[in-house]
A and B are shown apart, each in its own frame.
Chain A
Amino acid sequence: MGLLNNTMPANAVTNAVDGAVNWGRKSSLWPMTFGIACCAIEMMAVFAATYDLDRFGAGVPRATPRQSDLIIVPGTVNAKMAVRVKRLYDQMAEPRYVIAMGACVCGGGPYAKWGYNTVKGVHKIIPVDIFIPGCPPRPEALLDGILKLRENISRDDVFRRRRDTAQTLDSAYST
């Protein structure tokens, strides 16, 4: 990582700086034009006019992983495709985020029991930030997932030292 990443304690200055950096990162999440199967149709609907993704700053899909911050994985991941998905994720530059969209990608979906060729959830091969269930999820569900991702990014630590994870989870699930 960079020189000063995750080195400073949390104080008023670093909170503000991290807030600014996180605001920049979450407001310009450039996704990759990457669609595998049926969920990609709903993802295209989100990129299009009715469920406009551009209003969240994420409406600049890049064709190459080198220039994208976010990879939405929509559609069943086969063994053949899994190699490519992993390579695409590897070729993205940090900070990079992954949204797993659809039942197949969250845990195998309809192929969870008898799929001989499918990866039961893309989190087996790449680390995933947000899971969006559905078959396919409505475009509003994908938008909800992207908003959740923006919330997660706004809590991220760039210059501050990483906070204790268990405490974060507790505070996320309690009132």
Chain B
Amino acid sequence: MFHDYHAVLVFLIAGCVMVCAPLLLGALFRPRNPYPDKTIAYECAEDPVGEAQVRFDMRFYTIALIFIIFEVEIALMFPWARIFRHAADVPLALWAGLFFAFIVFLGLVVDWVKGDLDWIKTFRNKRRVQE
């Protein structure tokens, strides 16, 4: 049933071997001499202060989320553009596609006004708990 995919299996195995073999050989042959002074965090030879794990800034998550939403929109626009020429009802296809883009554009406007796109957030947009 899968006899067409024998070549893919061979390539898969070869790829795995080509990654794992150097790692394995390296682990066998390279010098291994860990001791406490060697494994502490590098801080320009000073005693390390503070924590090793820094708190991740939430702004990266926000920007990534917005990016994903618009990326999906673009991904959905591609097939629409491809079959546009062959549509039975061209005005309907046009306005349906534009309507979809408009909805997502409204989302962009809301993000923009609320300040989710600003890297440096100003007090104007900060939600105050007490007035």
- Residues of chain A having any CB pair with chain B under 8 Å: 1-5, 64-66, 83-88, 90-91, 93-95
Contact = CB atoms under 8 A, between A and B. Distances in A.
A5 B28 CA distance: 9
Given A2-B28, A3-B28, A4-B28, A94 B33 contact: yes
B98 to A, nearest CB: 53
B31 A90 contact: no
Interface in B37-71: 37-38, 40, 42, 44-46
Contacts of A86: 37
Interface residues of B, number: 14
Of the candidates B28, B31, B35, B37, the one having the most CB atoms from chain A within 10 angstroms of its own CB is B31
Nearest to A159: B29
Contacts of B35: 90
A2 B37 contact: no
B37 A90 contact: yes
24 contacts: A1-B31, A2-B29, A2-B31, A2-B32, A3-B28, A3-B29, A4-B28, A4-B29, A5-B31, A64-B42, A65-B42, A84-B44, A84-B45, A85-B45, A86-B37, A87-B37, A87-B45, A90-B37, A90-B38, A91-B37, A91-B38, A91-B40, A91-B45, A93-B31
Nearest to B30: A2
A91 B48 CA distance: 13
Interface of B: 28-33, 35, 37-38, 40, 42, 44-46
Contacts of A83: 45
A90 B34 CA distance: 10
A86 B37 CA distance: 9
B126 to A, nearest CB: 38
A81 to B, nearest CB: 9
A65 B42 CA distance: 8
Nearest to A3: B28
